[in-house]
Amino acid sequence: MIEARIHFFGPIRGLVKKKEQRVVLEEGATVRRLLDELGRANGAEFRRYLVLEGATVNPALVVFLNGESLDEILNLDAPLPSGPRVDVMLASPILGG
């Protein structure tokens, strides 16, 4: 089993009304499976924000798995990192000007 610990930041925290959530998945679960489970657990508004389209998530969403950007992984069907716990950060990018 894989225990994913998800940390929510920015507007996403406001949507889910919590700072952290734990999800337990079967060994070999993919990034897509984790995001699907988060969508089911956190309601329609969160699912609309997540927007899984093909192999991508909402470009306004920043996702890190154990410190590695999902942009670098480039594949939602990649298995989650092995180990007893996966740290996931979901946040909106910081825009400046």
pLDDT in tens, 42-90: 988 888 877 666 666 777 777 888 777 777 666 788 888 766 565 667 7
Q: Whole domain around residue 77: which residue ranges?
A: 2-91
pLDDT in tens, 23-47: 999 988 988 899 889 989 998 888 8
Q: Are 21 and 87 spatial neighbours (Cβ–Cβ below 8 Å)?
A: no
Element (H, E) at 86: strand 85-91
CATH number at residue 23: 3.10.20.30
User: Is 24 a domain residue?
Assistant: yes
- Among residues 56, 57, 55, the alpha carbon closest in space to that of 12 is found at 57
pLDDT of residue 26: 92
pLDDT of residue 37: 93
